[in-house]
């Protein structure tokens, strides 16, 4: 019973190993057929292999005496199998590769070592020593032998398989000391192919409302400029999408923008009251005879109402920008200029305003706000590479509305703002 159970366990183990072998072989060959992209221009081969290691998750091993890591390489491959990329980096006539687990070994082809032909040393013939004639003696003649020795020379070839292993850092998170280790040159990334990127953006804005109107409202417009101040810091949050072709890019996205201002206004209203009729002085006239009374007719208010407001005026919009950008490469960075339009979809307003015909105030939420307000925008900024497919974008933007904010209001309101924005951009293709 015991031996029967043990034999069953051994059989199951052997069958499982035989089943896993083709799966492992398929996984290794599948990695070589997986599609990858890589670009390099006059970069050392070692750096290109290091970048390829990060993209594939494999480590590349090679003998530095056979493969020169400092050799300049130029390559531009988009979505090609790994084995094709390796053939472009290393001439397949001279080099080969094999994969073992997560390690790819690169090696130089060498001719099979064959034993050299035997080297024979020419036979040496020993020349007989001339016989010395002896006077009055017996001469003995001996047979001379020729001895030929064959010397076989054998070379002993000692082969050393020196392997240089590039190890991937186990900790490749943003925020470590090597954060900029594999950052790329943005100028080299500019190609005549469409590239797409996506990323969050946040902006801090200083907004102001521009008032205008007819001459009869000049005094009221002056009062509007006095009570509306831009001391509050506005903000914007959103998501940007960019399509780039060489140095030209088109940017759009969706942003929530809140433009905030201060409203400080005080005024008094007098209600009720009467006119005084007190006699201050009187005198007589002789021609004609009459008595003249001088009466004080000053108005005395009964009730005086004082009003004061210190609140915020908010205009909220869902912005959809359409910006055209031109990139100027400077070393590894981009400096860009951009211009375009912003379509602002009204998402609510709050606060107070001064009524045009009197001194009283009203609620902005009761005004007839336009559902869509178009603005033009100008800006500039800088793009800094962080990781292979991650860049940091920052800059400033000026915007001004082309249309009035309200319908059927005698005084024109146009919004103007200066903003500083920053965000991370992830390249998705």
Residue 22: predicted pLDDT: 46
CA distances from 363 to 57, 102, 314, 370 (A): 61, 68, 12, 16
Structure tokens at 414: 């146009």
Residue 367: predicted pLDDT: 92
pTM for the whole structure: 0.53
Domain 2-111 has CATH 3.55.50.30: yes
Structure tokens at 367: 């005004």
> What does the CA dihedral 60, 62, 66, 69 come to, rounded to 10 degrees?
50
Tell me the residue ranges of DSSP E strands in 109-247. Answer: 164-165, 194-212, 228-229, 234-245
Structure tokens at 82: 């790994």
Do the Cβ atoms of 267 and 305 come closer than 8 Å?
A: no
Residue 72: predicted pLDDT: 87
| 422: nearest Cα among 397, 388, 387 | 397
pLDDT tens, residue order, the chain (429 aa): 444 455 555 655 655 555 454 444 444 556 778 888 888 888 888 888 888 888 888 888 888 888 888 888 888 888 888 888 888 888 888 888 888 778 888 888 775 444 444 444 454 545 555 555 545 555 555 555 555 555 555 555 555 555 556 555 554 444 444 444 445 555 556 566 788 999 999 999 999 999 999 888 899 999 999 999 887 789 999 999 999 988 899 999 999 999 999 999 988 776 666 666 665 666 667 777 777 767 767 766 666 677 888 889 999 999 999 999 999 988 888 899 999 999 999 999 999 999 988 888 999 999 999 999 999 999 999 999 888 789 999 999 999 999 999 998 999 999 999 999 999 999 887
Indicate where the chain has its CATH 3.55.50.30 domain(s): 2-111
Task: Count CA atoms closer than 13 A to 229's CA, side-chain side.
Answer: 9
| 405: nearest Cα among 396, 397, 420, 417 | 417
| 265: nearest Cα among 223, 214, 213, 314 | 223
Structure tokens at 190: 């500019």
CA distances from 315 to 17, 219, 231, 344, 375 (A): 69, 24, 15, 11, 14
Residue 316: predicted pLDDT: 96
CATH of domain 186-427: 2.40.160.20
Structure tokens at 48: 């290109």
Indicate where the chain has its CATH 2.40.160.20 domain(s): 186-427
Alpha carbon distance 227, 263 (integer Å) = 6
Q: Which residues of 158-173 are buried (b: 16+ CB within 10 A; e: fewer)?
A: eeeeeeeebeeeeeee
Residue 180: predicted pLDDT: 44
* DSSP SS3 for 2: helix
Alpha carbon distance 38, 40 (integer Å) = 7
Alpha carbon distance 374, 321 (integer Å) = 10
Alpha carbon distance 281, 294 (integer Å) = 5
Instruction: Kindly state the helix (H) or strand (E) to which residue 288 belongs, with its residue range.
Output: none
Q: DSSP assignment, residue 255?
A: E
């Amino acid at each position: 019973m015991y031996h029967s159970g043990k034999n069953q366990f051994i059989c199951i183990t052997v069958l499982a190993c035989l089943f896993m072998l083709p799966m492992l072989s398929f996984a290794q060959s599948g990695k070589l057929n997986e599609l990858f992209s890589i670009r390099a221009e006059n970069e050392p081969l070692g750096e290109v292999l290091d970048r390829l290691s990060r993209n594939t998750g494999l480590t590349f091993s090679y003998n530095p005496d056979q493969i020169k890591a400092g050799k300049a390489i130029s390559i531009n491959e988009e979505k090609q199998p790994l084995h094709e990329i390796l053939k472009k980096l290393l001439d397949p006539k001279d080099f080969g590769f094999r994969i073992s687990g997560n390690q790819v070994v690169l090696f130089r082809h060498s001719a099979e070592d064959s034993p050299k032909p035997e080297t024979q040393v020419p036979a040496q013939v020993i020349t007989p020593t001339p016989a010395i004639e002896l006077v009055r003696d017996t001469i003995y003649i001996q047979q001379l032998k020729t001895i030929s020795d064959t010397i076989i020379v054998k070379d002993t070839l000692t082969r050393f398989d020196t392997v240089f292993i590039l190890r991937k850092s186990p900790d490749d998170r943003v925020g470590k000391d090597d954060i900029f280790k594999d950052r790329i040159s943005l100028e080299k990334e500019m190609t005549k192919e469409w590239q797409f990127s996506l990323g969050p953006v946040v902006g801090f804005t200083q907004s102001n409302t521009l008032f205008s109107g007819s001459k009869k409202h000049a005094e009221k417009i002056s009062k509007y400029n006095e009570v509306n101040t831009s001391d509050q810091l506005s903000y914007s949050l959103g998501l940007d999408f960019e399509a780039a072709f060489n140095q030209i890019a088109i940017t759009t996205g969706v942003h929530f923008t809140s433009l905030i201002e201060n409203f400080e206004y005080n005024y008094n209203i007098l209600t009720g009251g009467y006119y005084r009729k007190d006699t201050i002085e009187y005198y007589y006239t002789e021609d004609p005879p009459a008595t003249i009374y001088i009466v004080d007719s000053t108005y005395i208010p009964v009730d005086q109402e004082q009003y004061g407001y210190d609140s915020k005026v908010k205009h909220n919009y869902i912005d959809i920008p359409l910006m055209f950008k031109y990139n100027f490469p400077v070393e590894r960075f981009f400096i860009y200029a951009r211009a375009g339009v912003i379509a602002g979809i009204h998402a609510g307003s709050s606060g107070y305003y001064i009524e045009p015909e009197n001194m009283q105030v009203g609620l902005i939420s009761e005004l007839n706000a336009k559902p869509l307000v178009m603005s033009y925008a100008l800006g500039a900024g800088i793009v800094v590479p962080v990781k292979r497919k991650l860049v940091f974008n920052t800059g400033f933007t000026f915007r001004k509305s082309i249309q009035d904010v309200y319908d059927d209001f005698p005084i024109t309101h146009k919004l103007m703002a200066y903003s500083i924005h920053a965000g991370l951009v992830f390249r998705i293709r």
